[in-house]
Amino acid sequence: MAKLVELNHDDYFVDQLGEKAETNVRCSYYPQCPRPELVFGLKPHCDGTVLTILMVDDNVGGLQVLRDGVWWDVPIIPRTLLVIIGDQTEIMSNGFFKSPVHRVVTNAKKERLSVALDYSVDHEREIEPSPQLINEKRPALYRKVKVKDYIAGLYEHFSQGTMVIDTLQI
């Protein structure tokens, strides 16, 4: 990823994780729902992590991403892993990599299972845009934040239906 944004240090994003980086596994089960238009499997949000690796059900869709005000189904590609960029990467890349707004919708006829592996910077560290990605033409888009404060804000904003990353914009 560092090469894509032409950072001098190829391991920049890995080095930002710190010695106490967090990895979490989350298994999600979405039962069939006779009236899926009335129920979200998971309401719209952005992942507050560096990235999420998602193993999705090979037979049942449900993951959608928001683009230009329209919800798009993420296609099912059997036996693949889906990588979702998180807010922490968006901040450290000064917006070059975007954390997509996504949701999970339920299915009227089939249950769905997914397994997510989340990677997060050490919660005691601070993150901010890389100095190499800031210049006169592209100033810093986000202010510095302690990761544990950011994570705490995620839960508050999720319950309100807002995005915590928006509070860090300069």
Please report whether residue 118 resides in a domain. yes
| CATH number for 115 | 2.60.120.330
Residue 40 pLDDT level (bands cut at 50, 70, 90) = confident
pLDDT at 126 over 80: yes
Please report whether residue 143 resides in a domain. yes
Please give the share of the chain, as a percent, with pLDDT higher than 90: 55
* Tens-digit pLDDT profile for residues 86-121: 999 999 999 999 999 999 998 889 998 899 999 999
Strand arrangement, sheet containing 102-105: 40-45, 102-105, 63-67, 70-73
Q: Give residue 101's domain range.
A: 12-168
Q: What is the pTM of this model?
A: 0.88
Burial 48-58 (b: 16+ CB within 10 A, else e): bbbbbebebbe
Q: What is the mean pLDDT of residues 124-141?
A: 93
Please report whether residue 29 resides in a domain. yes
* Tens-digit pLDDT profile for residues 137-157: 999 999 999 999 999 998 888
pLDDT at 81 over 70: yes
How many domains does one find in the chain?
Answer: 1
Q: What is the mean pLDDT of residues 72-82?
A: 92
Q: What angle do CA 4, 16, 161 make, to 5 degrees?
A: 85
Looking at residue 2, its pLDDT comes to 67
Looking at residue 123, its pLDDT comes to 94
Please report whether residue 38 resides in a domain. yes
Please report whether residue 145 resides in a domain. yes
State how far the Cα of 165 lies from the Cα of 90, in Å rounded to an integer: 9
Please report whether residue 6 resides in a domain. no
